[in-house]
Amino acid sequence: MKDIALTVSGKRYEINLEDDFADFVNKNLQESGINLHTDNTPDKLLKAYLKLAKQTNAYEDEVELLIKTFDNF
């Protein structure tokens, strides 16, 4: 288990996640412009969430297309 910590509007949040998931979250936050060592604004966190939500939606669409494709065989 690993701790992930970030500060938003002066409040520090710490969460404990499984190692692989913590690495994924850490990488995703950093790629989205979230700094884990300084204060972040709420809009940066919202933008990071929306970026990940868009990516997840695209993956779901791809999975549905693959299922439909396999169903036709």
Residue pLDDT, tens place only, 7-57: 999 999 999 999 999 999 999 999 999 999 999 999 999 999 999 999 999
Assess contact for 48 and 34: CB atoms under 8 A.
Answer: yes
Provide mean pLDDT across the span 60-65.
Answer: 95
Closest CA relative to residue 39, chosen from 6, 3, 4, 5: 6
Identify residue 23 by its one-letter amino acid code: D
Place of tokens 């950093």: 30
pTM: 0.76
pLDDT confidence bin for 72, thresholds 50/70/90: confident
Residue 14: its pLDDT value, please? 96
Residue 73: its pLDDT value, please? 80
Identify residue 18 by its one-letter amino acid code: E
